[in-house]
């Protein structure tokens, strides 16, 4: 086989190369062969996924290990998401940890909206991911482009156990954010909830679905020093 093998570079209609296909099906031996024959490890498909994104999203640990030797572990897709983010969003935490522990990935990396891995773990209400990320240096004060912290995301999700972990790690109970990024589309359509300068307590107080976790978060936030008199642009937390 020639080192300039055209099969390695040829793309499918969705922009995927043979390397992407081997990654999707978890074929580390095939990946090794294609890379040895000159396959472009940085080639992206129509979504901006590298082969490492694809292997991570499918949870193929052996394929990820093979690709990590040559890939950019922090490569962004078209949405600014890394391979570790793809793994976490697909529920493959152990694969994400493998990437983040490789030494080439940044645990503080954020997507194009500025959301960190910890924001994502809070939004998913994942205690295990939150614990792992905190143990590996993730910042509880990280803010996305809306100035929302992981605690805002936990409050929006009714993620009480995650909220406990974040507050124990020093998350600011009275951090101000625009909140819109942390809420559902129905809540974002409400003029009252689309206010700047909301604290996690404001977010937890918005509980139209009756999420029990949000009530527990209100109690927890008050216990941890959240200010019930804090104003956003329009109202106190109890007025929402």
pLDDT tens, residue by residue, 9-19: 555 667 899 99
Per-residue pLDDT at 156 exceeds 60: yes
Provide the residue ranges of all domains of the chain, joining segments of one domain with +. Answer: 1-106, 107-240
Tell me which architecture the domain covering 1-106 has in CATH: Alpha Horseshoe (1.25)
pTM for this predicted structure: 0.83
What per-residue confidence (pLDDT) applies to 124?
94
What CATH number is given for 107-240 in this structure? 1.25.40.20
DSSP string, the chain: --TT-HHHH---TTS--HHHHHHHTT-HHHHHHHHHTT--TT---TT---HHHHHHHTT-HHHHHHHHTTS-TT---TTS--HHHHHHHTT-HHHHHHHHTSSSS-TT-B-TT--BHHHHHHHTT-HHHHHHHHHTT--TT---TT---HHHHHHHHT-HHHHHHHHHTT--TT--B--GGGS-HHHHT-TTTS-SSB-HHHHHH--TT--HHHHHHHHHHHHTT--TT---SS--GGG-
Q: Do domains 1-106 and 107-240 have the same CATH topology?
A: yes
Model confidence over 65-111: pLDDT tens digits? 999 999 999 999 999 999 999 999 999 999 999 999 998 899 999 98
- pLDDT bucket at 3, cuts 50 / 70 / 90: very low
- pLDDT bucket at 191, cuts 50 / 70 / 90: very low
Model confidence over 198-228: pLDDT tens digits? 899 988 888 656 667 888 999 999 999 998 8
What per-residue confidence (pLDDT) applies to 104?
86
């Amino acid at each position: 086989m020639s080192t300039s093998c055209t099969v390695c570079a040829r793309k499918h209609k969705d922009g995927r190369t043979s390397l992407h296909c081997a990654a999707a099906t978890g074929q580390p031996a095939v990946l090794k062969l294609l890379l040895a024959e000159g396959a472009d490890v940085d080639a992206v498909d129509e979504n901006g996924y590298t082969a490492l994104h694809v292997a991570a999203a499918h949870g193929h640990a052996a394929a990820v290990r093979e690709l990590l030797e040559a890939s950019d572990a922090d490569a962004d897709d078209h949405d600014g998401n890394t391979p570790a983010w793809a793994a976490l969003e697909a529920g493959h935490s152990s694969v994400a940890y493998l990437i983040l522990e490789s030494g080439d990935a940044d645990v503080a990396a954020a997507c194009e909206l500025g959301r960190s891995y910890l924001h994502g773990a809070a939004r998913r209400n994942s205690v295990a991911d939150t614990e792992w990320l905190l143990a590996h240096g993730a910042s509880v004060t990280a803010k996305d482009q809306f100035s929302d912290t992981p605690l805002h995301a936990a409050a929006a999700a009714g993620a009480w156990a995650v909220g406990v972990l974040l507050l124990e790690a020093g998350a600011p109970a009275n951090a101000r954010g625009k909140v819109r990024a942390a809420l559902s589309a129905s809540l974002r359509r409400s003029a009252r909830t689309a206010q700047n300068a909301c604290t996690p307590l404001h977010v937890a107080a918005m509980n139209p679905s009756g999420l029990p976790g949000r009530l527990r978060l209100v109690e927890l936030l008050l216990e941890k020093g959240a200010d019930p008199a804090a104003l956003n642009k329009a109202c106190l937390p109890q007025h929402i």
